[in-house]
A and B are shown apart, each in its own frame.
Chain A
Amino acid sequence: RKEVEQDPGPFNVPEGATVAFNCTYSNSASQSFFWYRQDCRKEPKLLMSVYSSGNEDGRFTAQLNRASQYISLLIRDSKLSDSATYLCVVNRRSGGYQKVTFGTGTKLQVIP
């Protein structure tokens, strides 16, 4: 089983729709969580960190459920510019250092 799993999609949604992605992680020692955005053939860039209390940044809301070991990303009022691949990232301790694991990404296509 992969340490971090995401539905690869693609999710095809109309402009203005609300879309949600989930990501599950298998290692209960995981401690910090992020969503990155990656545009086609470009480098990943941090979208937002995910905190236990949940956090919001404009149209984006991230949630963490430690009991069920998943994180989610909600995008409201989708824009064409939101079309990208969204990567779930999980950090944990490994021998005193951090071990970073990326999910394979969920592709979002926002349609006019």
Chain B
Amino acid sequence: EAQVTQNPRYLITVTGKKLTVTCSQNMNHEYMSWYRQDPGLGLRQIYYSMNVEVTDKGDVPEGYKVSRKEKRNFPLILESPSPNQTSLYFCASNSSPGLAENLQETQYFGPGTRLLVL
């Protein structure tokens, strides 16, 4: 079954304690991205990756890091979480390498990770 998986699904942590949210897709997609969703603000892109070892900042990258060492995995790292990073996080992928010619490509989302930073 084609899918995007995220772990953990729920996480409660404390300020400053490093954490990693994993994301994995089994569709051999090149393009992956991370979003956060907050009430009234919608989905905002944190980071994206066009391919292995190629990543770039989205709209709200501050306080986050990512890596793309393998095609299927795209972990999101919070080195020193703060309460304003409490949010619902989604990982997404699509088959397009992000090239402009493939603007009709749609995204497949993971089930989400609900993070609470105390």
Q: Which of the candidate stretches A60-68, A70-78, A91-99 sits at the interface with the other chain?
A: A91-99
Decide yes or no whether A43 CB sits under 8 A from chain B.
yes
Chain A binding surface SS class: strand
Q: Which residues of B contact A105 (CB under 8 A)?
A: 42
Q: Is the CB of A93 within 8 A of B111?
A: no
Interface residues of B in 53-103 (CB under 8 A from A): 88, 90, 96, 98-100, 102-103
Task: Pick from A42, A49, A92: contact of B106, CB below 8 A.
Answer: A49
Q: Is the CB of A87 within 8 A of B98?
A: no
Task: Pick from B42, B44, B103, B112: contact of A93, CB below 8 A.
Answer: B103
Q: Is the CB of B90 within 8 A of A43?
A: yes
- A-side interface size class: 20 to 34
Q: Which residues of B contact A93 (CB under 8 A)?
A: 100, 103
Question: CB-nearest residue of chain A relative to B91?
Answer: A43
Decide yes or no whether B28 CB sits under 8 A from chain A.
no
Known: A96-B99, A104-B40. A44 touches B104 (CB 8 A): no
Known: A96-B99, A98-B96. A43 touches B42 (CB 8 A): no
Q: Is the CB of A97 within 8 A of B41?
A: no
Known: A43-B112, A45-B109, A49-B104. A100 touches B99 (CB 8 A): no
Interface residues of A in 21-80 (CB under 8 A from B): 31-32, 34, 41-46, 49
Query: Distance (Å) between the CB of A73 and the closest chain B CB?
Result: 16
Task: Pick from B44, B50, B98, B103: contact of A32, CB below 8 A.
Answer: B103
Interface residues of B in 24-59 (CB under 8 A from A): 33, 35, 40-45, 50
Complex formed: what's the CA distance from A46 to B112 in Å?
Answer: 16
A interface residue numbers (CB < 8 A to B): 8, 31-32, 34, 41-46, 49, 87, 91-93, 96-98, 100, 102-105
With A46-B107, A93-B100 given, can you name 11 additional A-B contacts, CB distance below 8 Å?
Answer: A43-B110, A45-B109, A49-B104, A87-B43, A98-B100, A98-B103, A100-B33, A102-B35, A102-B42, A102-B43, A102-B44
